[in-house]
Every structure is written in C-alpha cells, then in structure tokens.
Amino acid sequence: MNKPTIIIVAGGENSRFFPINTETHKGFLSLAGKPMFVRALENLKKYEFGLAGTGEKIIVVVSQKDFNDKGFSKYLKENNLASKLGLNIEVVLQKKAKGMGDALLTTKEFFSDLASDSFILASPYHLNLGEIAQELWQKKQSSDASCVLSATQTKSPEMYGILDLNPDNYEEVIGITEKLGITVLPKRNSKKIDHLKVNSIYLFDNNFTSELINTPEKEYSLETAITKYANKSKITWLENTKENFSLKYPWQIFSAFGKIIQQKRTSISESAKISKTSIIDDSNGPIIIEDTAKIGDYTKIVGPCYIGRNVFVGDYSFIRGSSIEEGCTIGANTEVVRCIFFENTTMHYGYISDSILGSSTRVGAGLITANKRFDRNGVKVKIKGKMIDSKRKSLGVITGSNVQIGIRTNTMPGVLIGKNSIIYPGLTIDANIEENETVKK
C-alpha cells in the first residue's frame, strides 16, 4: 500500500503573525541557517514520503507572495531543492486567503491521480513532519478509523481548537471545539489529561474532501467539516510528543528555535575568524558558528546559540541564547540575550533581550528594550485589536522586515513594529506601529 500523499498548506495571510507575516509564509522562515520547511522536507525524506518515482507527491499550497518565482518558489528553484532531496514536489497557488479548508480544496484536481486512498494535511513548520506522518499512517492501519488527528496537551485551551472526545471512549473524536476550552478528558493511568489542542497535521481518507466541499466557507470550515464527518465516519487521534510548540503568534518562534538548537552539537567552521580573546561557552547548550563569521576581541558567546554565515560580532559584545542569521552585523559593546535576528539585520551598541528583528532591519546605537513588566506577570501583546497573553514573563520588541530605528530608542515589553517603518531618534515606543509608518514623536 502506498503511503499517503502529503499536502502542505502555506497560504493565508497569517495575520496573527504580525509583523513578520508579509515577506514569506512563517513556515519558510530560516532558523539556525535553514528554513523550517526544508527541515520538514528532510524529515519526510527520512521516512520515505513523497519520493520521486514512487507516484507519491508532496503538494505545497502557497499564497501569491510565495508563488511564481517569489518567496518559497524562488528558493525552491534556486536551490534545486526537489532534485537534491529526491522528492516529487508540486506547488499550487491559493488565490485568496480563505483558511486551511479552502487551501485543501485548491488541490482537488490532483485527487484522481493520488497513489493512495488517504492524504496527510499539514502546516510547513512541523520539524518532525515525516515522523509524525508515519505515526498517523500506522495508527490508521492498525485501527478501523477513516481519519487520524494529531493533538498535544495544553494548559491554554482558549487559544486553540480542542479535541472533543466521546466520553465513553476517549479514543474516538466526535468533533473540535474552537477556543472554548470546555472539554474535560477522563483519567488515564491515574493521571489527569489536560485539554488536547489539535495540531495542524491530519490524516484523512479521500472521501473527506466531499464533506469539506459541502461545508460553507468560513474561517474554521476545516474544523466544521471534521466535526460533521465524525458523525459519519470514525475519527481517532494520537498524542504528538515530538513537538512542543505552535506557530500561531510571532513570539512562538523562540520555541521553534529551541527545538532546533537542542538537537545540535557545538560546531565551529574552520573559516570562521574568532578572536583569541573571545570566550565560547557551550556549557548550557550547543554553539554553532558558520563559515566566514567574525567574532571580535573580548566577546562572549554563550549557548545555546547560532551564528550564521558572514555574521560580524564586534568587540566587547555578549551574545546568549540567540539565533543570528546570515549576514547580520552586531556592533561593539552590544548585549543580545535570547533573541532572533533574521538575515542582514544590523545593530550597534545597546541592549536587546527576548526580541525578534525582521530581515534587513537597521538599529541605531543606544537601543534599550524593556522585556519585563514591573509586576512580573505575563507580557500581553495587541494582536488584531485584542490583547493576547503571550504566556511569557519576558518579551521585548518584534519587528517586521526593513524597519529603521534611530539612535537612543527605547521600547516597552511586547511592542510590535510593522515592516518598512521608520522610528526617529530618542523615542520611547510603548504601542504597536503599523507597516510603512514614520514615527517622529
């Protein structure tokens, strides 16, 4: 029996991922030197899904920003990725951002040619996609279920879709409750099971698409169709213990980086130029320093940490628990703690903590980021007009791409700054800034 076709959905607006949701889909962002989606493809190859020549496919649904030699499509072509990995990859355009259900329906023309009677629908950022897909497929084969869902225990059910289980048989899914957190599961092995959030990776039989076609278009049409389909066919689930993060909000990138770096070992390229007076301390986690990186005098790097190709770190700087992607510049006397700098970002002299800087962001000397509230409660962030508890006690600033921040700027905890914005010197930023804004006072 052929393995299921893999359908990966990387469309939509990702509006809750503001301000780093515009240049490419969040699953195509690079962490520790490689896009998360490439890591997912490598994992699929390891478990022999979508191999060229087997009749199986990996269908990738993208929005306009990643289609026709832009974004992901450009990366796929320039790196000859399908050929290198030996995978059969087909890219499909989702013309409008109508959710995951609509994205699936854009692939319906392929269903008559599918080599299997089932398919796996997933988001592109699952680092262990092949491993989870294998477990879903094995669960379906060992049961009489038509569909298998993946779920992870959560203490924040108000943020996710939650499995609704048959109270007489917790192996049977009877629906999905969206962000209400009302499901209480029975005890198993004398231990309470927390709410189970639905992961964005599902195994369906091909008949499920008929149910989805007959479901009215709306934001949660996929979840609605699953609930309706559960009345006709058996749906079961398995607990996903392979990943402990979601990518719904931008600050969750920190967890993705943690998952990636903890699987690595310290590695320093022979072509990296590291000053003899610098300190490389990997006692708390691995440190990776890539080709042609330059580390200045009396600089300290504390793991877990990633320093990408062509990164420059100036004298007397301190980098800890961070991912500094390719082409970034960190000037002298700069402290960077638990941050992610995307490609070609520049910062000179200052303190930045628990923050994310979008690609090609330019930060003038003297930036200070506040990352904690006075009362030390969780930092709240305004997303789509609502205050969202980030569940983080420490969170600094998050910027989109091509942001310019003037000298002596201060930012309050949980501030979001949209792409292409310009912030004049000497300001304290205590509220979100939309895209393309110029802030003078």
Chain segment 36-69, per-residue pLDDT in tens? 999 999 999 999 998 987 778 899 999 998 998 8
- Residue 192's pLDDT is 42
Alpha helices in 29-128 (DSSP H): 36-46, 71-78, 81-85, 100-105
Please give the full DSSP string across 269-334, using - where no structure is assigned.
-TT-EE-TT-EEE-TTS-EEE-TT-EE-TT-EEESSEEE-TT-EE-TT-EEES-EE-TT-EE-SSE
CA-closest candidate to residue 6, choices 124, 166, 182: 124
Whether 339 shows a pLDDT value over 80: the answer reads yes
Calpha distance 110→113 (Å, rounded): 6
Q: Among 135-149, 242-256, 311-325, 386-400, where is mean pLDDT lowest?
A: 242-256
Q: Among 100-104, 108-112, 167-171, 387-391, where is mean pLDDT lowest?
A: 108-112
Out of 1.10.10.10, 3.40.30.10, 2.160.10.10, 3.40.50.300, which CATH number does the structure's domain 260-439 have? Answer: 2.160.10.10
- Residue 301's pLDDT is 98
Instruction: Cite the residue boundaries of each domain of the chain with CATH code 2.160.10.10.
Output: 260-439
Model confidence at 352, in pLDDT bands (50, 70, 90)?
A: very high
Out of 3.30.420.270, 3.40.30.10, 3.40.50.2020, 3.90.550.10, which CATH number does the structure's domain 5-247 have? Answer: 3.90.550.10
* Segment (H or E) for 142: helix 129-142
Residues 6+ apart with CB under 8 A from 217: 98, 99, 101, 102
**Coil/strand/helix, residue 30:** strand
pLDDT tens string 387-432: 999 999 999 999 999 999 999 999 999 999 999 999 999 999 999 9
Whether 120 shows a pLDDT value over 90: the answer reads yes
Calpha distance 21→416 (Å, rounded): 12
pLDDT tens string 174-187: 999 876 444 444 44
- Residue 190's pLDDT is 30
pTM over 0.85: yes
Percent of the chain with pLDDT over 70: 95
Instruction: Write down the number of H helices and E strands in the chain.
Output: 8, 38
Give the distance from CA 287 to its chain's centroid: 21
Angle separating helix axes 129-142 and 36-46, nearest 10 degrees: 40
Instruction: Cite the residue boundaries of each domain of the chain with CATH code 3.90.550.10.
Output: 5-247
Model confidence at 218, in pLDDT bands (50, 70, 90)?
A: confident
CA-closest candidate to residue 406, choices 340, 328, 348, 352: 348
Calpha distance 334→347 (Å, rounded): 8
Calpha distance 292→272 (Å, rounded): 4
Residues 6+ apart with CB under 8 A from 61: 7, 8, 9, 10, 11, 92, 93, 94, 103, 104, 106, 107
Q: Among 22-36, 88-102, 284-298, where is mean pLDDT lowest?
A: 88-102
Backbone angles phi, psi at 44, to 5 degrees: -60, -45
What integer best gives the mean pLDDT of the chain? 90
Calpha distance 226→213 (Å, rounded): 12
- Averaged over 2-28, what is the pLDDT? 88
